[in-house]
Structure 1
Amino acid sequence: MTDAAHGPHAGRNVVSLSRDAANRNTSIDVIRALCLIMIFVNHVPGNPLERLTTKNFGFSDAAEIFVLLSGVSAAYAYGAKYGQGARLVTTLKIWRRSGVLYVAHLATTLATLGIFCFLATVYARPELLEAINIAPVIAEPATALVGVVTLGHQLGYNNILPVYAVMLLLLPIFLAIGKRSLTMMVALSGSIWIFSGWYRIGFPNYPNDGVWFLNPLSWQFLFVIGIAAALYLRRGGELPARLDLIIGCIAYLVLSFAWVRIPLWGVDASFDLPAVLTGFDKTFLSLPRLLHVLAAGYLIAMIPQLNQVFRLSARNPLAVLGRHALPVFLLGTLLAMAAQAWRIAHGSTALSDIAIVCGGTMLLFALAWFLEWHRELSGNRSAARSGQIRDLGLSTLVARGD
């Protein structure tokens, strides 16, 4: 990848990534919203609607899509600002955002513990205190709470925000390198990915053994690829529109679909290579998973008809949902944890599961619409206040005769 490319079609691929305020492309918002919904559905495991999510149609799932889009969004939010004279300020803003995610993770973890402990007490279901990695907190609360605060102990289905927080801590380093060379940035990131996956190196759990379920040293590569793609396009580059690449990506997606649906999980295709290159390990983001999400992203970016599927009105419910990703994700996490605990305590049927998932999804949309309404209301108030200040200033000048 060169740092820029120019030509008669330069910038053509911005159709899928542009964030121009005057003509906002909602593709990113819509795809992010679909990811948030699928993450919520998948976090209520065993429900019938789970079969409709992307994990049942290929090697990767909504988490990979979400991280790739997060890299693209981070590039637009901070990439242009990270220049001479603004690096320190931008770095502090990035790290502040990382701190917000850390606090949000602690809040959802505490709320999850409260939900499971409350239902375990009310309905006398002690098995709730052994679910989703809660048992160490009950058995050794002092040690486990140290792990919670240091991110070494993460509850099940509460492990996405820590990875994103760590990636944001690393973001200024990658942006600094990317200012000099996007190729160097991607190469460094890829080296970290392959090294950590090859030797199974990751952030350690505490007090449990092992490493984080989503290893930041591996997942940062997908994040950086998203950053590099966005910055490359902003600098005038364009993605290669090659028929062989398009056909190759389609073939790989078809192969992935067949592998999952037949399924072919028992087939040994490792060729005695490390699992990071031939396996399907989510912790270390194995190559088949990585290629799957990149192939899908490339096709969406390069095929206009496919891109238009996700390019909806800015007032579309999916676009609104995607614009408020963090609060929607937090609510989705809490609703999923409450649903899991309730199902353990009371059991479930296909009908009740569908009702729970559909009801929870409606609440996610309701929150997004409320936040959108509140933002528009605050914006109108700010505009009115600014107008009053301008009028006051003019009146003062007239009164003074200046």
Structure 2
Amino acid sequence: MTTQLPPDRAERDTRIDVFRALALLTIYIDHVPGTVFEALTYKNFGFSDAAEAFVLISGMSVALAYGNKFQPGSRLLAALKMWRRAGVLYTAHIVTTIVVMAMFCAAAVFAHRPELLKLINIEPLMKNTPEVVVGIVTLGHQLGYNNILPVYAALLLMAPLFLLFVSYRPLPALIFSGALWLVAGIWQIAPPNYPEPGFWFLNPLSWQFLFNIGLAGMLHVRRGGTIPVNRWLVGAAATYVAAAAVWVHSPLWGQITWFDLPVVIGGFDKTFLSLPRLLHILSVSYLIVALPAVSNLFRLSQDHPLALLGKRSLPVFLAGTVIAMVAQVMKLINPGGFAYDALLISAGIAMQFALAFYLEWLSGIGWSGKKPVRTEAPAARQSFGMSPVVARLSR
């Protein structure tokens, strides 16, 4: 059995936008630790969290945005566009890092809470300012809760090479990508921190495997392929997801690794994307693809708030990062209770939706600075192996 693609659908399939929006909102809630709502997010029901979902969706989005453009004669232009996008992400990361540091410093000074400067990796800036400034610019020093954009920018820098090999030899390309993930995890190969010891919190040499799985899967579907649906695979994925939901609430969750295996195989390390985390996000994704009743729950109208939020993912993510840091400071200064938590989370989410609606309104009156996008043929707009999707990356 395989999933079937309706050939006559021309409207935008909003499911990628909706899943991206849910990932962004989950990241926001998780980035305000200590609220009662943190216990209800996706990370509490399995081995993976919203970061894995975000990277997988990013790979799919790159395939949608650049897959058809990455052809002989236009590859350089497509590569330049991806690198320009990586530059935008780098600039956005530096700006948000400076804003967040300034905000914590202001809270420490005006609220007389100097202990705030010991949080989210700000303290090294106070002790070794010249070195840390160099580290910030070179991405060797990243603040806590502000470390997703660097790995995404790094993946976009590598994306032209990924696209080239996945387009011609998808299976060997994925085998090589998986081998790189394994080698990086076993021998702990990752971009180093500077000036502090250690590695990037999210290692791009590891996370590229998940990114490439999303990219290869979407390219396969856009070229007329299907995602096979096998009842045994569905059963195995469902069993794994259910077991993970129980595991994370048991004493087993505290184990660093099992059977003396390398952590990347038998543990739950996030930096090197350990196998249990990778299998979990892939199992969840497969169930969504294989079960139309589940997948179609996320097929919403194009003007649905979640669809609009996911469509405007980058500005919403940046705003959400800053808002989350503000809420985090407020929570540290005044722990409050349930009503206070509800106010912090609901206000932050409302501001992100307001930004998405504002940007959509600007686009509607012609102030977005972008040219109208031509509608592509339905056959080029397929996703999830089941239905058509937007043929460009939502900005």
State the partner residue of 2:227: 239
Q: Give the drift of 1:285.
A: 0.2
1:200 aligns with 2:182: no
State the partner residue of 1:351: 339
1:50 aligns with 2:38: yes
The answer to whether the Cα contact below 8 Å between 1:98 and 1:168 also exists between their aligned partners in 2 is yes
Q: 1:316 aligns with which of 304, 310, 314?
A: 304
Q: Aligned equivalents of 2:360 and 2:192: distance in 1? A: 39
Q: Aligned equivalents of 2:119 and 2:51: distance in 1? A: 22
Q: 1:142 aligns with which of 120, 123, 130?
A: 130
State the partner residue of 1:340: 328
1:288 aligns with 2:276: yes
Cα distance, 1:135–1:189 mapped onto 2, change above 3 Å: same
Q: Aligned equivalents of 1:123 and 1:261: distance in 2? A: 37
Q: Give the drift of 1:342.
A: 2.0
Q: Aligned equivalents of 1:43 and 1:382: distance in 2? A: 32
Amino acid at match of 2:223: R
Amino acid at match of 1:183: L
1:95 aligns with 2:83: yes
The answer to whether the Cα contact below 8 Å between 1:36 and 1:329 also exists between their aligned partners in 2 is yes
The answer to whether the Cα contact below 8 Å between 2:267 and 2:275 also exists between their aligned partners in 1 is yes
- Taking the TM superposition and a 5 Å limit, the aligned residue runs for 1:183-262 are 183-262=171-250
State the partner residue of 1:110: 98
The answer to whether the Cα contact below 8 Å between 1:119 and 1:342 also exists between their aligned partners in 2 is no
Q: Deviations along 1:127-156, whole A, 9 cap, x unmatched?
A: 111110000111111110000000000000
- Taking the TM superposition and a 5 Å limit, the aligned residue runs for 1:387-402 are none
5+ residue gaps, structure 1, are 1-8, 385-402
Q: Give the drift of 1:350.
A: 2.7
Q: Could you state the TM-score of these two structures normalised by the residue count of structure 1? A: 0.89
Amino acid at match of 2:163: L
Q: Give the drift of 1:46.
A: 1.1
Q: Deviations along 1:359-382, whole A, 9 cap, x unmatched?
A: 100111100011111111117999
1:25 aligned counterpart, secondary structure: coil
Q: Across the two proteins, how many residue pairs are aligned to each other?
A: 372
Aligned-pair identity in percent equals: 49
Q: Deviations along 1:305-344, whole A, 9 cap, x unmatched?
A: 0011111111111011000000000000000111112222
5+ residue gaps, structure 2, are 373-395
State the partner residue of 1:276: 264
1:34 aligns with 2:22: yes
Amino acid at match of 2:19: I
Q: Give the drift of 1:23.
A: 1.5
Cα distance, 1:343–1:129 mapped onto 2, change above 3 Å: same
State the partner residue of 2:393: none
Higher relative contact order (CA 8 A, sep 6+): 2
The alignment's C-alpha RMSD in Å is 2.0
Q: Deviations along 1:209-236, whole A, 9 cap, x unmatched?
A: 0001111110111000000000011122
Q: Deviations along 1:149-178, whole A, 9 cap, x unmatched?
A: 000000000000000000000000111112
Which 4+ runs in 1 deviate beyond 4 A?
266-269, 379-384
Q: Could you state the TM-score of these two structures normalised by the residue count of structure 2? A: 0.90
The answer to whether the Cα contact below 8 Å between 2:17 and 2:311 also exists between their aligned partners in 1 is yes
Amino acid at match of 1:331: A
Q: Aligned equivalents of 1:267 and 1:156: distance in 2? A: 23
Q: Deviations along 1:233-252, whole A, 9 cap, x unmatched?
A: 11221111110000000000
Cα distance, 1:79–1:357 mapped onto 2, change above 3 Å: same
Q: 2:47 aligns with which of 49, 55, 59?
A: 59
* Structure 1 stretch displaced more, 144-153 or 23-32: 23-32
Amino acid at match of 2:151: V
- Taking the TM superposition and a 5 Å limit, the aligned residue runs for 1:155-170 are 155-170=143-158
Q: Give the drift of 1:21.
A: 8.9
Amino acid at match of 2:286: Y
Q: Aligned equivalents of 2:243 and 2:142: distance in 1? A: 34
1:265 aligned counterpart, secondary structure: helix
Q: Aligned equivalents of 1:383 and 1:297: distance in 2? A: 33
Q: Aligned equivalents of 1:13 and 1:73: distance in 2? A: 21
The answer to whether the Cα contact below 8 Å between 2:255 and 2:267 also exists between their aligned partners in 1 is no
Whichever of the two has the greater Rg, that structure is 1
The answer to whether the Cα contact below 8 Å between 1:14 and 1:233 also exists between their aligned partners in 2 is no
Cα distance, 1:152–1:119 mapped onto 2, change above 3 Å: same
The answer to whether the Cα contact below 8 Å between 1:31 and 1:310 also exists between their aligned partners in 2 is yes
The answer to whether the Cα contact below 8 Å between 1:101 and 1:161 also exists between their aligned partners in 2 is yes
Q: Give the drift of 1:186.
A: 0.8
Say which structure is richer in helix: 1
Q: Aligned equivalents of 2:90 and 2:179: distance in 1? A: 27
Q: Aligned equivalents of 2:368 and 2:182: distance in 1? A: 50
The answer to whether the Cα contact below 8 Å between 1:253 and 1:295 also exists between their aligned partners in 2 is yes
Q: Deviations along 1:73-108, whole A, 9 cap, x unmatched?
A: 000101110010001100000000000000000010
The answer to whether the Cα contact below 8 Å between 1:13 and 1:302 also exists between their aligned partners in 2 is no
